[in-house]
Amino acid sequence: MTTARTATPSTARAINDRLALDLLLERGPLTASDLRTLTGLSRPTVADLLERLQRSGLVAHAGESAALRRGPNARLYELVGDRAHLAGIDIRSTGVSLVVADLTGRTLGTATIAAPAPTTAPGTGDGGGADAAGAGDGDLLVERTVEALLATAAEAGAGELHTVAVGAPGLVDPATGALNNSGKLPEWHTKLLAALRARPGTEVILENEVNLAGIAEHRIGAAQGRRDFALIWLGHGVGASVVLDGRLRRGASGGTGEIGFLPVPGTAGLPDSTKCDGGFHSMVSSAAICELAARHGLTSEPGTGSGHDCEASGDERGEERGEEHGEWLGEGREPMAEAVVRRAVETGADGFLDELALRIAVGASAICVVLDPGCVVLGGEIGQAGGPELADRVERHLARLSPLATEVRAGTAGGGAVLAGAVLTAGDAVRRELFGGE
């Protein structure tokens, strides 16, 4: 049972209102009797707060409970989802995905906008600082994304968007919210953020995309109930997020979790401040996994040949495209690294899975001996494809590498974790303003 704290009358009302609103958000429609039981508040207090919340437009009648006789006691109350609308956006070099949701987090509409194919020939670019799709194409992508966001909201019957949470690769300064473009991100990333922030009446929250994935795994995924855990993101690129004492940790410059730069003995060399060649990234990125699969003679699908449908990390497009692009099977099909890991699990490719698990355990052990999170979640498309089979192998290797007992779990939110985390983050911000409190 949750009980309200003693406070001044106005503060007590605000606390009681927030208790009721949080319960309606978590549990769905409730009767006044349910709210009295769950909060410990008196009948008059609950009646007053329900009247107050209905006047504010946050709560409305939602029919009657089938478990009770008809009448006032059976009346159900629910949050008014249309009281405010929000959006989550996942920005990658391949394009943009977005979700429009209501106050309760219910999805109202989705859209995906693909980035134009790079027009710069491999090896002729300026090191990645310029928009790989060309300035004109980048501007068009920004325009199409904003249009898609507004159209999706309109089709869902949403008015102005209260808050938009955006997940993007790169360092996000915790103090200023600025995206630190080290020269590796397409120029349209920052242009899109500027376009979103230019819209009046909408708050824009920027967060590192792996941090958003960590929020999703913590709240609705594999790390529910954990106060401490680390997420290792295994997608087209590599990253991590860290939750300690129930709080996401960003670091002084927003760089907590940049595990791709972890130096690893035996790789091609040491990483430096501009690229992670020779770091952990070079062992478990999508290109590295494809190369490992080819060496083990694995294919992504039955009967597809010798395994060279996975492009190796040394192919001529690697640096120009960047790891966010990944290697694709074809239109409408999953990335090859994800497909080959899934295929390895299905066919019991022990050699490949064990070597991949050892590589992942090397990075996980570095996190564990410093932070001791007690739990590591393998997230992203590849972490989800590997499932419990890959997670169990990583846990066994980790037990040999580190003296600290650490559970390894397969992520359950998959590649959609970034969008899920963005919606959760935007929803939290909206509800803090409308509900009050923390």
Give the separation between CA 344 and CA 227, rounded to whole angstroms. 33
- Shared domain for 92 and 50, answered yes or no, is no
Residues 60 and 190 in one domain: no
Same-domain pairing of 175 and 270: no
Residue 22, Cβ neighbours under 10 Å: how many? Answer: 16
pLDDT of residue 325: 34
In a domain, 127, yes or no: no
Cβ pair 82, 157 in contact under 8 A = yes
- Domain membership flag for residue 319: no
In tens digits, what is the pLDDT along the chain, a chain of 438 residues?
Answer: 555 455 688 888 889 999 999 999 999 999 999 999 999 999 999 999 999 999 999 999 988 776 655 656 778 999 999 999 999 999 987 889 999 999 999 999 999 999 876 554 433 333 333 344 555 778 899 999 999 999 999 998 887 899 999 999 888 988 888 888 655 678 888 899 999 999 899 999 999 999 999 999 999 999 999 999 999 999 878 999 999 999 999 999 888 999 988 998 777 778 877 777 778 999 999 999 999 999 999 876 654 433 334 433 333 223 333 333 334 333 344 578 999 999 999 999 999 999 999 999 999 999 999 999 999 999 998 999 999 999 999 999 999 999 999 999 999 987 799 999 999 999 999 999 998 765
Percentages helix, strand, coil for the chain (3-state, rounded to 5) are 45, 20, 40
Do residues 193 and 142 share a domain? yes
| Confidence at residue 401, expressed as pLDDT on a 0 to 100 scale | 95
Last residue of a domain, one of 79, 107, 127: 79
Q: Is residue 126 part of a domain?
A: no
Residue 404: inside a domain: yes
Residue tagged 């590591």 (tokens): 376
Residue 345: predicted pLDDT = 96
* pLDDT in the model for residue 311: 39
pLDDT at 130: 38
Q: 88 forms bridges with which residues in the sheet?
A: 99, 165
CATH number at residue 70: 1.10.10.10
Asked if the structure places residue 130 within a domain, the reply is no
Same domain, 254 and 374: yes
Query: Would 18 be classed as within a structural domain?
Result: yes
CA distance 235 to 242: 17
Q: Alpha carbon 254 to chain centroid distance?
A: 16
SS3 25: helix
Is 112 in the same domain as 28?
no
Do 424 and 397 belong together in one domain? Answer: no
> What is the tally of structural domains in the chain?
3
3-state secondary structure at position 234: strand
Q: Is residue 316 part of a domain?
A: no
Residue 308 within a domain: no
pLDDT confidence of residue 146: 94
The string of DSSP letters for 199-210 reads: STT-EEEEEEHH
Same domain assignment for residues 249 and 346: yes
CATH code of the domain containing 182 = 3.30.420.40
Q: Report yes or no: 170 and 180 within 8 Å, Cβ to Cβ.
A: yes
275 shares its domain with 376:
yes
C-alpha closest to that of 239 among 206, 204, 286, 290:
286
Residue whose structure tokens are 């590599």: 238
DSSP state of 169: S
pTM reported for the whole predicted model: 0.85
Give Cα separations from 283 to 236, 291, 379 (angstroms).
Answer: 12, 10, 16
**Residue-level pLDDT at 120:** 46
Query: Which pLDDT score is estimated for 270?
Result: 81
Strands 161-168 and 203-208 come out as parallel
Whether 262 and 386 map to the same domain: the answer is yes
- In sequence order, the β-bridge partners of residue 279 are 263
383 shares a domain with 291: yes
Residues 277 and 351 in one domain: yes
Range of the domain at 17: 10-79
Q: Is 75 helix (H, G, I), strand (E, B) or coil?
A: strand
